[in-house]
Amino acid sequence: MLAIWVPGGCASGGKEGDSTARKFIESFDGEPVVPRAANRIYIAPPIDATGSQDLAEKLLIKVREGLSLDGRLGVDSEELHADLRLEIRITKYLVERIAFDEIGRAVKKRLWITADVKCVRLDRKRKMILYEPGVQAFRVFSDLAMPIEPESQAREYVLDDLAGRITAKTVTGWYTDLLTDIEKRKK
């Protein structure tokens, strides 16, 4: 015989906690990240808070391509015809020197780009359905030691990875299958 004991109530007598819990539970409408009724998305031109040249434009093209290839949403060039609005703010572009040779030259560098992502429904309510600060992508590269990879090539790789993560986050709500081995060990 198996018995299960469930504690009843809470210290406040259940009055205030019940209404808070009810509001929390009712806030979940059972929809996936992208509402079932949404068919088209407008991607606002990304805001680049880093001042890097052409970064926002390249990321916009890559995210637009990723969402188009995913096929769940049509990408619209005008907000007026869209059901959703995707906003991207590039918050960090950083090249860190992480390994040096015997005369002090940086032989390994890490290029790191982060972005805040927000998706809003464009119906009357304008409800935010997604906000993810600090979506990141990075690559370790070297422009001195083999295999040689210039920063511009590393940047393209990182932008591709970041666009893939933004696309996955927008459509499914997560991008854990895109984590690198380094990120998996951190968690």
Is residue 12 in some structural domain? no
Residue 6: the pLDDT is 46
Confidence of residue 182 (pLDDT cuts 50, 70, 90): low
Residue 12: the pLDDT is 47
pLDDT tens profile 99-121: 899 998 989 999 999 999 999 99
Is residue 163 in some structural domain? yes
Confidence of residue 37 (pLDDT cuts 50, 70, 90): confident
Residue 111 belongs to domain with CATH number = 3.30.160.150
Is residue 9 in some structural domain? no
Domain that holds residue 129: 32-180
Mean local confidence (pLDDT), 142-163:
92
If we measure between CA atoms, which residue out of 23, 33, 51 comes closest to residue 120? 33
Is residue 114 in some structural domain? yes
Helix axes 151-172, 55-70, angle to 10 degrees: 40
Is residue 25 in some structural domain? no
CA angle 84, 156, 103 (to 5 degrees): 140
For 142, the token pair is 């070297």
- Number of domains composing the chain: 1
d(CA 24, CA 147): 52
Is residue 145 in some structural domain? yes
For 124, the token pair is 């009357």
pLDDT at 136 exceeding the cut of 70 = yes
Average pLDDT, the chain: 82
Q: Is 159 helix (H, G, I), strand (E, B) or coil?
A: helix
pTM (2 d.p.): 0.76
Confidence of residue 66 (pLDDT cuts 50, 70, 90): very high
For 5, the token pair is 């004991």
Paired with 139 in beta bridges are 111
Mean local confidence (pLDDT), 22-30:
51
For 156, the token pair is 């393209």
Check the CA dihedral 53-59-64-66 and report its sign.
Answer: positive
172, with CB counted inside 10 A (0-12, 13-18, 19+), is: middle
Mean local confidence (pLDDT), 55-67:
95
Consecutive H or E run containing 96: strand 84-100
d(CA 160, CA 59): 8
Is residue 3 in some structural domain? no
If we measure between CA atoms, which residue out of 144, 57, 137, 47 comes closest to residue 94? 137
Residue 179: the pLDDT is 59
Is residue 131 in some structural domain? yes
Distance of CA 81 to the CA centre of its chain: 24
Residue 171: the pLDDT is 86
